[in-house]
Amino acid sequence: MNQTTRSYGLKQSTNSELSCNSLVFWETLVNPTRLVRALPQIRFQKQLSVPSKARAIMNSKPEQTTSVWMQGDRFSLLSALTQDDEADVCVVGAGIAGMTSAYLLLKEGRTVIVVDDGPIGGGQTERTTAHITNALDDRYMEIERWHGQEGARLAAESHTAAIDRIEEIINSEKIDCDFERLDGYLFTPIGESPNLLEQELQAVRRAGLSQVESILSCPLQNFDTGPCLRFPRQAQFHPRKYLAGLAKAILHMGGRIFTQTHIAKVESGTPARLRTEMGLTITAEAVIVATNSPFNDFVTIHTKQAPYLTYVLAFGVPRGQVTKALYWDTENPYHYVRLQPMPNDVPASAMLGNPLTEELLIVGGEDHKTGQADDAEARYDRLETWARARFPVNEGRRCHWSGQVLETIDGLAFIGRNPLDGPNIFIATGDSGQGMTHGTIAGILLTDLIVGRSNPWSQLYDPARKTLSASDRFLKENLNVAAQYGSWVTGGDVESSEAIAPGTGAVVRQGLTKVAAYRDEHGQLHECSAVCPHLGCIVQWNHNESTWDCPCHGSRFDKKGHLLCGPANTNLVQSTGLPDASVEFKAVSV
Ligand SMILES: Cc1cc2nc3c(=O)[nH]c(=O)nc-3n(C[C@H](O)[C@H](O)[C@H](O)COP(=O)(O)OP(=O)(O)OC[C@H]3O[C@@H](n4cnc5c(N)ncnc54)[C@H](O)[C@@H]3O)c2cc1C
Ligand code: FES
């Protein structure tokens, strides 16, 4: 493999140096200001050779927006893989699903390597709102229709167990991550009949959640929601701090975590082999691909789930004026709300508000299929109007961001053996808006499958399942995908690249094909093929994040065509159709 070398100031630690630098890492991950104190411990070296494809990781911020959890700098002080390696289990993806799996497997005495091509938590886990809940997004009525009463019961049981497991891990590892148990409230939009809630309550009770009750209104001073369902013993936390705690525990148990390491290929077999983009090999008895959207399953899974972008705003509200709880309504798309204390460290609180007088109100919603709308500002405006009409919101937006969720056709994640693959290759995907619990269920269930223990949830979450009662949704989503191929024969967004303003992008028709053209702030044009390397849909420009988003299965690329998230696993190619040597392979994730 041809590895060109370049010079950087920050030394990449070698594998043997990992544990020292790793401990520096988890401290700085939680509180970036600690980097200043940590710097002397991080060895610097001039003119160090770093493989070119790994270089985009250095402080790169591929999207425009940052979540409340990302305030301050992002650090990735863990080393990249620099030599072939082996372990009992290799986990690809250091989000909540991968990190929980690694943690629980280490507890079982397995040797584990975690690899991620971005920083830990740098995928959707950093963009979540971290409602930790067993009140399922798709409603128990629907889960019961798709999976039967026993399936709904197992779904309730597994999500409840996931909340408990998160709490157990936090307690036993002493993770300081703002974890709190609190109630969750589900209410209907103004003017809508509460019948839906009554039916949902019956389904919830049949699923075994006997403590859920119907009450007259949510406990909010200025907003009479009307009747709502109260789900007791839900939870919330700070996802980045939680992952930092998991990282620390993983490293203490002897687990190895390599960031800036892109896995190009997973080959099944005994053992399985993972090939990195740099040509290195990891050998493992079992592989977990926890990359949010699996790149190793080309078609099967992606016909059964659909990508949606969702939008979030954070506001300051006077401390103590909004009852701390989780809130959702039943609109389609629904709104989701929670509170978060202001951070205590100065750089972040300076950006977000006054910790003495305010807390953050986080409000999300306005979802649409990825790559099929480009009107984020209107969506943020509607969210703001909705929030101001219901909550005592102070001046200004403190933070805004978007992210992607993967909705399965039958409301539950796909966790288990990858269909049509070797028996030791596992995936976790299709979280919907429930990745905190689904990611934790993945950790529990995949650990059981790998150590050979039976698990009552394995059939429910089996990625190979066929849910005939959800065939209407299957058809709808796949007809929608088929329709996207129509953009091969339409014109471009603009007549020519001359019409593209600095700092923005547009799809331009060039003969028989289409080009994703981005003009940078200096006026220079950067052109790639607009054809998604996954299954050939035409990507769309996203003004809000300055990304190219695929409307078919949710692959996303930064403005210059670098891969951000799958199922594609390579960058957009040059408009000539030849691979672009200047376009590095994915090194930073959404
Ligand atoms: C705005 C928003 C709000 C949400 N709110 C909630 C909520 O309130 N509650 C809830 O439970 N869930 C919520 N979710 C969903 C939840 O955040 C996600 O489902 C969850 O974080 C996904 O975790 P993950 O570990 O599967 O994936 P990720 O966190 O995306 O991690 C995957 C990792 O894999 C890495 N990777 C990908 N490909 C490769 C490769 N080839 N080689 C190496 N590494 C690779 C990426 O860099 C990334 O770090 C929300 C999501 C969004 C966007
Ligand atoms: S993500 Fe499947 S074609 Fe683009």
The pLDDT tens digits for 164-194 are 999 999 999 999 999 999 999 999 998 888 7
Q: From ligand 1's centre to the CA of 216, what distance in Å?
A: 35
Specify which residues 180 forms β-bridges with: 236
Check pLDDT > 50 for residue 577: no
* Ligand 1 closest atom vs CA 264: 41
- Contact status, residue 68 vs residue 399, Cβ threshold 8 Å: yes
Q: Name the CA dihedral angle for 64, 70, 75, 79, rounded to a multiple of 10 degrees.
A: -90
CATH superfamily ID and name for 181-233+305-408? D-Amino Acid Oxidase, subunit A, domain 2 (3.30.9.10)
Does the bond joining 456 to the residue before it have cis omega, within 30 degrees of 0?
no
- Ligand that comes closest to the CA of residue 159: 1
Average pLDDT estimate for 535-559: 97
Mutate-to-test residue for ligand 2 from 552, 557, 573, highest number of ligand atoms within 8 A of CB: 552
Q: Say if ligand 2 is within 6 A of residue 530 CB.
A: no
Per-residue pLDDT at 346: 62
Determine how many CB atoms are found less than 10 A away from the CB of residue 373: 17
Question: pLDDT confidence of 349, banded at 50, 70, 90?
Answer: low
C-alpha 353/C-alpha 314 separation (Å) is: 10
Q: Show me where the domains of the chain are located.
A: 1-52, 181-233+305-408, 489-565
Average pLDDT estimate for 399-404: 96
Q: From ligand 2's centre to the CA of 68, what distance in Å?
A: 29
Q: Say if ligand 2 is within 6 A of residue 411 CB.
A: no
Check pLDDT > 90 for residue 36: no
Q: Say if ligand 2 is within 6 A of residue 537 CB.
A: yes
- Ligand that comes closest to the CA of residue 335: 1
Check pLDDT > 90 for residue 576: no
Question: pLDDT confidence of 368, banded at 50, 70, 90?
Answer: very high
Question: And the tokens for 422?
Answer: 């070797």
Residue nearest to atom 4 of ligand 1 (CA): 128
- Residue with the bigger pLDDT between 584 and 551: it is 551
Per-residue pLDDT at 74: 55
Residue nearest to atom 19 of ligand 1 (CA): 435
C-alpha 181/C-alpha 131 separation (Å) is: 11
Per-residue pLDDT of 297-315, as tens digits, reads 889 999 999 999 999 999 9
Per-residue pLDDT at 63: 78
The CA distances from residue 146 to 157, 457, 503, in Å, are 17, 15, 46
Check pLDDT > 50 for residue 333: yes
Mutate-to-test residue for ligand 1 from 124, 261, 298, 379, highest number of ligand atoms within 8 A of CB: 124
* Ligand 1 closest atom vs CA 338: 8
| DSSP H or E run through 496 | none
Per-residue pLDDT of 129-151, as tens digits, reads 999 999 999 999 999 999 999 99
* Ligand 1 closest atom vs CA 93: 34
Residue nearest to atom 3 of ligand 2 (CA): 535
Residue nearest to atom 2 of ligand 1 (CA): 128
Check pLDDT > 60 for residue 45: no
Question: pLDDT confidence of 552, banded at 50, 70, 90?
Answer: very high
DSSP class of 538: B
Task: Give the chain's largest Cα–Cα span.
Answer: 68
* Ligand 1 closest atom vs CA 239: 21
Per-residue pLDDT of 69-127, as tens digits, reads 988 655 555 899 999 999 999 999 999 999 999 999 999 999 999 999 999 999 999 99
CATH superfamily ID and name for 489-565? Rieske [2Fe-2S] iron-sulphur domain (2.102.10.10)
Per-residue pLDDT at 193: 82
| DSSP H or E run through 354 | none
- Residue with the bigger pLDDT between 21 and 541: it is 541
Per-residue pLDDT at 578: 44
